[in-house]
A and B are shown apart, each in its own frame.
Chain A
Amino acid sequence: MKKCLLCGQDFIPATSFLRIFSFKKFHEQCLCQHCLAKFAPISREHCEICYGKAAANERCLDCLEWQKIYGHNLLRNHAIYRYNDAFHEIMVNYKRYGDYVLREVLQELCFEQLKKIKVDFYVPIPTSLEHIAKRQFDTVAAIYSQLVPLSFFLAKKEGQGAQGERTRSERLESKQSFLVKEGIKADVNKHSVLLLDDIYTTGRTLYYARDALQTAFPQAKISSFTICR
């Protein structure tokens, strides 16, 4: 019997013979099936570039806009869930109220898909120090640091405010707020990099992060991963 981290009710985690007899460590389930069912996985029909809303093999409205700015140099993003009320609620609790434990739920939602993507460097989108001080943890790194080895290549300029508090047009008009840390010893050029974030909303954040990395390492192959799109 376990307690679901979202609804607080007891549930029996699903199990299998493989789990019982295997020596391999499995991720421990932390939310019940009723709560899990509230999240909407992205269907097969999605934008070929960023998993946004679009018919199969077509591009979403966001990507069409990015095409005007970046031409063929678009950022390929992998996402798992559509943004809905359940996701909104968990993000409010995790980010606004600072319920650190919910990282386990977010990990459970994404670890299987993330495992399938093999790259050389996993780079989390940085949070401003001011927010870290307030919450006492880094929201993005807290999710992914227990799943993959992280490389903290990026830093955030101070005093820029959070994207989450802005409207759509304000987000798009925001300025580059990332910089690549100095003194990175790893040979990033010619290697693959996966940017990690929680939500892809307009893509503004991830594109700026990509731009910063690309300027520093022009030959790196950069794509991104978010739990929600």
Chain B
Amino acid sequence: MENSSCLAGRQWISSQEDFSTNEVLTKISAIQQSHCMRCGARVYAKLPNGKFYCRDCIELGRIVEGDLLVRNLELAEFSRMKNGGLTWHGSLTKRQSAVSCELVKNFNQRADTLVHAVTGAGKTEMLFAAIAECIAQGKRSCIATPRIDVVNELYPRFKAAFNTIKIGKYHGKEHHEPRLDQLTICTTHQLMKFYHAFDLLVIDEVDSFPYVENTQLHFAAKNAVKEDGVRIYLTATPTNDLLEKVKEKQLKILRLNRRFHGGLLPVPRALFFYRPFLLKQKINPRLLKEINAVIKSGHQLLLFVPRIEQIPIYVSALKNDAQFSSVIVEGVHAMDKNRLAKVENFRQGKSQLLVTTTILERGVTFKHVWVIVVQADDEIYTSASLVQIAGRVGRAKDDPDGLVLFCYRKYTQNIRNALKQIREMNK
């Protein structure tokens, strides 16, 4: 490998025939004790020649039994920068700056931290100081998050805040390999391309990782940081495994239970329904009454339904209803080609009612929106996603409260936990 220094902190696969030697490169068997050394998954699938291969990280190139994982342990060197290249001049609230200072302190003490901050607390701004500290020391940092959307949203914000630093942005739809950047923003998936690379690794929206891949995330996060590197987890709804680590004192916890405008989180109202929400393409009249009440109050409404197939049914039922004749209704889902345009229309107030699925549960801000969750008892809504959905409401300074309605026919543990978490954060 020529010019390996741009691959500092990287790992890649190589077939067994590779006998090249280089002192900064270490080679290990890519599959050991039926586990993949890149993603940590158990390896169970076999090729016709009887060799095992890993399915869980196959998009990064198939790892087959006998392949080698090459790791570049070279240390990347960066010039130290005064004040860490931070060009952001905004101000933090008192609570935010307290968390921000703690993060810098924990970074210097090499302690991992879990930041449990409510939705709309201004998490990104609280990170700036710690990242700047890392850069000021000539060290390397990374912000990773499970969703491509969130990477795309974070990148311009960090670019504006650190406008002299070259920032690398990587995810599956960017189609190029990571380079040597002092600050990297990428999907958690991309972390598997790194080994002992970062001094500081921030994982944003940890809870939005599908539970199936949770072990993969922790495995990759552990490998990607240096042995004395520091991890920061950001979430509004910490998962049990993280809270467990807090209990075992492996993680420090910082709580921020007020939004940046100082208001409380709106507490959802849970409403029991006896009849089905949809019957013969018609919406339950009680639900219609609730929807109408929101529209009459002059607020925009996000209507969450559990399945994509239900969106057109709700949209046409609402459009055909005389009492909504003057209301502009739209439906949006993950595969929708006009997704961005529809969301933008809604943001600008061009449509009043948006029927959607969990794709809009996080990372989006609409100023005066209220929310109704239909079938909140559906298994697709975990307590984390219910908390996130409730967090869409009351995000404006001049309108810090609003209605969140969970409509259910069976009161589930997830609804109970979501309500409990929100009330606890409000204490």
Residues of A within 8 A of B (CB): 7-9, 85, 93, 97-101, 136-137, 142
Q: Are B58 and A100 in contact (CB under 8 A)?
A: no
CB-CB under 8 A from B59, the residues of chain A are 93, 97
Q: Are B48 and A98 in contact (CB under 8 A)?
A: no
**B21 close to chain A: CB less than 8 A:** no
Q: Are A93 and B58 in contact (CB under 8 A)?
A: yes
Can you name 16 A-B pairs with beta carbons within 8 Å? Answer: A9-B212, A93-B58, A97-B59, A97-B61, A98-B58, A98-B62, A99-B55, A99-B58, A100-B45, A101-B45, A136-B48, A136-B49, A136-B51, A136-B64, A137-B47, A137-B48
Top 6 A-B residue pairs of the complex, sorted by shortest distance between their CB atoms: A101-B45, A97-B58, A136-B47, A8-B212, A98-B62, A137-B48
Interface residues of B in 49-82 (CB under 8 A from A): 49, 51, 53, 55, 58-59, 61-62, 64
Closest chain B residue, CB of each to CB of A8: B212
Residues of B within 8 A of A (CB): 45-49, 51, 53, 55, 58-59, 61-62, 64, 212, 335
Cα distance, A137 to B62, chains bound together (Å)? 13
A136-B48, A136-B64, A137-B47 known; A101 and B55 CB under 8 Å?
A: yes
CB-CB under 8 A from B55, the residues of chain A are 99, 101
CB-CB under 8 A from B64, the residues of chain A are 136
Nearest-Cβ distance from residue B247 to partner chain A, whole angstroms: 28
CB-CB under 8 A from A136, the residues of chain B are 47-49, 51, 64
Nearest-Cβ distance from residue B382 to partner chain A, whole angstroms: 13
A99-B55, A100-B53 known; A85 and B335 CB under 8 Å?
A: yes
Q: Are A99 and B45 in contact (CB under 8 A)?
A: yes
Nearest-Cβ distance from residue B55 to partner chain A, whole angstroms: 6
CB-CB under 8 A from B45, the residues of chain A are 99-101
Closest chain A residue, CB of each to CB of B46: A100
* Given A7-B212, A136-B47, A137-B47, 19 other A-B residues pairs in contact with their CB atoms under 8 A: A8-B212, A9-B212, A85-B335, A97-B58, A97-B61, A97-B62, A98-B53, A98-B62, A99-B45, A99-B58, A99-B62, A100-B46, A100-B48, A100-B53, A101-B45, A101-B55, A136-B48, A136-B49, A142-B48
